A and B are shown apart, each in its own frame.
Chain A
Amino acid sequence: MTTRAMWKADLNVGELRVPVKLYAAVQDANVHFRLLHSKDNTPVKQQMVDPSTQEPVAPEAITRAVQLDRGVFVRLTKEEQAALEPKPSRAITVERVVAAEKLDERWFDRPYYLGPDGDDEGYFALADTLEQKGWIGIAHWVMRNKSYAGALYGNEGYLLLDTLRNAQEIVAIDAVRTPPGRSPDPREIKLAETLIGTLEDKFDPDAYHDEHREKVLGLLEAKAKGKVVRFPKAAGRKPSDSLLKDLQASLKVGRRSATHGR
């Protein structure tokens, strides 16, 4: 089964122009419920209500407003809102290219796949070069009346474009220095390094599943068939009280599991 493209655009990298299609990389896998009226199991609907009259307000009588201070709002007309929207465009423009480390994990918001739309060679060459060099293109575009900044990068031979959070959204954090006296001693550092070494592995995303989601679906299927289901619960684990002892004990366990294979 193939996915339909959300949008078509020209990807501009300096002089290069590569036509692309944009696809959402995220697919909703959550179990969604609808709200029903318990009396007759019909879906509920939502309406906006004026709290002073308790009466629903018709959509055409609703205006949008911006809050400036507590209790102080300024109404905006439809024309004013429209004037704030960016001009429509079919261009995704890469403004600059930086090393991937320049953007830490906090910036990344929503991923999109780009697919080639007529120039496969240009598309795959860009994807490959970005991936091989570990570079990210900082791109800007306007889609559906909204302007976006994004990170263009290569992954497994394909181009992805992740929308980025904006600079104001990243909460201020300074680097901190370990206060003297609370620093781990060399023996602990050595052990911790060894422990991290034993737990070192390749990252395998396929190894992880949301089992809970699967259980909820199982419950729903069973219930639809009129069955009652129970699932066993796993037990927790108890921590100890010496950092050094814990590190040493962990290493023993780690080595054993490493020799016997995982």
Chain B
Amino acid sequence: MAAKKRTTRRSAEGKRSRRTTGAATAQRASDGESESAAPAHGGGPRAFWSGTITFGLVSVPVDLYPAVRSSRTPLRMLGPNDQLLQRRYYCSADDEALTNDDIVRGYEWPDGSFTVVNDEELESVAPRKSRDIDLQRFVSRDEIPPKMLQRPYVLAPAGESTKAYHLLAQTMEQTGRAGIATFIMRGREYLAAIFAEGGLLRATTMRFVDELRTPESIGLPAVPKLTGAQRKDAEAALTELKTDDLDLEALEDDYTRALLELAEAKRAAGRDVVEVEEDMSNEESETADIIDIMSVLKQRLGPASAAAPHTASEKTARARKDATAVAAAGRGSQKRSRKTAR
């Protein structure tokens, strides 16, 4: 499966504002100029990133799409003139309004002094440019502790042939294995777990160990030896609550629903409604991008299986599809009744 030269198309680079601060931010600009992400099949929403899974000497080109999206409706800031406010930078010493050209990046040392660094310097230590998702080993799925999981993505096959993709997805699913991979995305190193389910591959970035506290570093007491009698109460209490049904209704975002219901009620009553000139956010297009993943997958992998969905969440996801389609058109979809979500 040779990674064919793909048509150049700009990645979703500039659009993503939610990212960690730090060195990565500095490299964003340069990264976006020299690299490009492109779905090989032309149509469909843009991929978040494109890369090639390499395991052994086998290459599987894939496009990454976010597997989750934010459901929270942001509370925006309005000024007295009914204007959406914008964030601006000022010098803290003389209140001078600053443009991007006036601003540099400084690392603060514990003594309060700063070391100023520029993009070129940060680029000199940037990881090598590579699109390889280096799948180094396979582990049992339950060996990956949830505390390490960070951001999930769906991997869609890219490139001309999807055979290697099917082979990897199928074999991993049958053997119950998850893959552990490392890769470099937009100037940052990532550790990731790759999962196969329902004929599809998903990847989740993982926290490095130094990003996690340990029981020792927190100062928790050492784990004692437990007797059967001590475990009895815990086991009884847990068994009492044991069920096969993950109650998805209890995992819905009630706050956002209540917030939107309140806002809609106020609009119906004509209270505190503000018309603002063109909103600058590109939120809508992003939402539409994400919701179209299924069409990309269908296009590249053939029609969706008629078989039962594999996980509880896929079950809701499936049931929710109609409601979600509305979400692409407008925000009213959050109002959908609990019944449709079941």
Contact = CB atoms under 8 A, between A and B. Distances in A.
Contact of B331 (A23, A56, A67, A239): A67
A3 B218 CA distance: 5
A108 to B, nearest CB: 5
Secondary structure at the A interface, as helix, strand, loop or mixed, is: mixed
B16 interface: no
Contacts of B57: 239-240, 246-247, 249-250, 253
A249 B58 CA distance: 9
A88 interface: no
B102 interface: yes
B1 A239 contact: yes
Interface in B151-199: 152, 154, 161-164, 166-168, 170-172, 174-175, 177, 180, 182, 187-189, 191, 193, 195, 197-199
B128 A236 contact: yes
Nearest to B148: A205
A166 B230 contact: no
B274 A239 contact: no
B15 interface: no
B67 A219 contact: no
- Chain A, interface size: which category? 35 or more
B244 to A, nearest CB: 7
B202 A105 contact: yes
A200 B138 CA distance: 5
B79 A50 contact: yes
B22 A33 contact: yes
Most chain B CB atoms below 10 A, which of A37, A97, A107, A233: A37
B246 A61 contact: no
Contacts, number: 594
A69 B331 contact: yes
Contacts of B68: 106, 165, 169-171
Interface string A225-262: 00001110111110111010011011101100000000
Contacts of B221: 115-116, 120
B132 interface: yes
Contacts of B128: 233-236
Interface string A55-81: 011000111111111111111110011
A26 to B, nearest CB: 6
Interface in B72-92: 73-81, 83-92
Contact of B105 (A35, A166, A175): A35
B234 A203 contact: no
Contact of A184 (B166, B210, B245): B166
A167 B278 CA distance: 31
6 contacts: A39-B102, A45-B90, A62-B77, A147-B254, A188-B163, A212-B23
Given A25-B212, A129-B238, A135-B238, 16 more contacts: A16-B233, A47-B87, A103-B313, A105-B149, A105-B152, A106-B202, A167-B316, A168-B71, A168-B256, A174-B305, A175-B199, A175-B308, A176-B302, A199-B55, A200-B137, A216-B122
